Amino acid sequence: MVSCKAVANGTTQPRRADTDDKRKLIDSVDCFIFDCDGVIWRGDSVIDGVPETLDMLRAMGKRLVFVTNNSTKSRAGYLGKFTGLGLNVNAEEIYSSSYAAAAYLESIDFKKKVYVIGESGILEELDLKGIQHLGGPEDAEKVVALKKGEYMEHDEDVGAVVVGFDRHINYYKIQYATLCIRENPGCLFIATNRDAVTHLTDAQEWAGNGSMVGAIAGSTKREPITVGKPAEFMLDNIAKTFGLKRQQICMVGDRLDTDILFGKNGGLTTCLVLSGVTDEETLLSPENSVHPDYYMSQLSELLAVKEAAKVAA
């Protein structure tokens, strides 16, 4: 059994969960929030043991929520990915940053139009909330030629610009968004997330939404309201939607700087899995100050609780 070690500077080391810890963890919370990439799946393959683990937690009466900062798909779009991987999930349990943007606008009773930089997921979620939008994929091929007489009109009814990950980012979109933010009084600047890099393929890291948001921050000299991890909004919205207190929730993720910090700042119990981006060495390194309450190799380690219960009975 691995016990907590107090190190010289007084802080405790992160605790590798043993079977007792796992049982205590499951008993102490009513809801698990899972990051997806590196926890549930890696790229397009489900991580082994995850479907059985989720079924077990559900059978024990736990609420499950799946969060992803990826804004390209809507919740319904992600549902397709989950079911395709053999996972039993409902669309309402999926919390994508595309949904978060629409939920944020709904929470402030937004009635104007939205200019979107991003892909179809954001547009679908705005449609579901009855929010009018322009831009998105239809502006992908638009070109600006800065010659004499060139002018750009913009819709004065745009009350918010939502910036999500966009593989077709271009100067037209940047300029249109800039005009709305600069010229329309009170126009909001909302970012689905600001991840610097994203793992679209296994081969390498790719520029993330941090770049699309950075472009607009650079052309307006304004900072956005961020709705995805590690900002508070997503957590507030989840807690409110499901009628939960923070102490009733455990955040399970693979990234210290977004998932675990997000959970800690929000007052949640936190659990790091080593099946994604973070390895044990990085976690335990003296340079890391973000300590989850527990850590384990992968989510399916929780199944040990079921095994222990069988043995006991």
Partner 1 sequence: MLQLLQDYDCWVFDLDGTIWRGNEVIEGVLEALELLRKLGKKVLFMTNNSMKSRGSYLDKCLQVGLPAHVDDIYCSSYSAAAYLDSIGFDRSKKAYVVGERGIMQELAAVGIESFGGPDDNEKRASFSSEMLHDTQVGAVVCGVDPNLSYYKVQYASMCLLLNPGCLFIATNTDARGHFTPNLEWAGAGATVGAIKGVVERDPIVTGKPSPFLMQDIAAKHNVQPAKSIMVGDRLDTDILWGLNTGMATLLVMTGVTDEQLLVAQRGSSNGVKPHFVMDSFGDLRRVAQQALQQQK
- Catalytic residues, by residue number, are 30
Measured from the CB atom, the residue of 167 and 240 that comes closer to partner 1 is: 167
* Residue 208 Cβ vs partner 1, minimum distance, rounded to whole Å: 7
Measured from the CB atom, the residue of 166 and 293 that comes closer to partner 1 is: 166
C-beta pairs of 201-207 under 8 Å, 24+ apart in sequence: 201/43, 202/43
Tokens of 9: 């500077």
Measured from the CB atom, the residue of 40 and 216 that comes closer to partner 1 is: 216
Tokens of 241: 């939607």
Measured from the CB atom, the residue of 46 and 207 that comes closer to partner 1 is: 207
* Residue 207 Cβ vs partner 1, minimum distance, rounded to whole Å: 4
CA distance 313 to 301: 20
Peptide bond into 230 cis (omega under 30): yes
Measured from the CB atom, the residue of 117 and 274 that comes closer to partner 1 is: 117
**What's the 3-state SS for 276-301?**
CCCCHHHHHCCCCCCCCCEEECCHHH
Q: How many CA atoms lie within 13 A of 159 on its CB side?
A: 10
Cα–Cα distance list, 58 to 89, 150, 283 (Å): 10, 59, 29
CA distance 66 to 90: 10
* Residue 228 Cβ vs partner 1, minimum distance, rounded to whole Å: 14
Q: Which residues bind partner 1 (CB under 8 A)?
A: 143-152, 166-171, 174-175, 178, 182, 194, 196-197, 200-201, 203-221
Task: Find the DSSP H helices in the chain.
Answer: 19-28, 50-59, 75-84, 97-107, 120-128, 171-183, 209-220, 233-242, 261-265, 280-284, 304-312
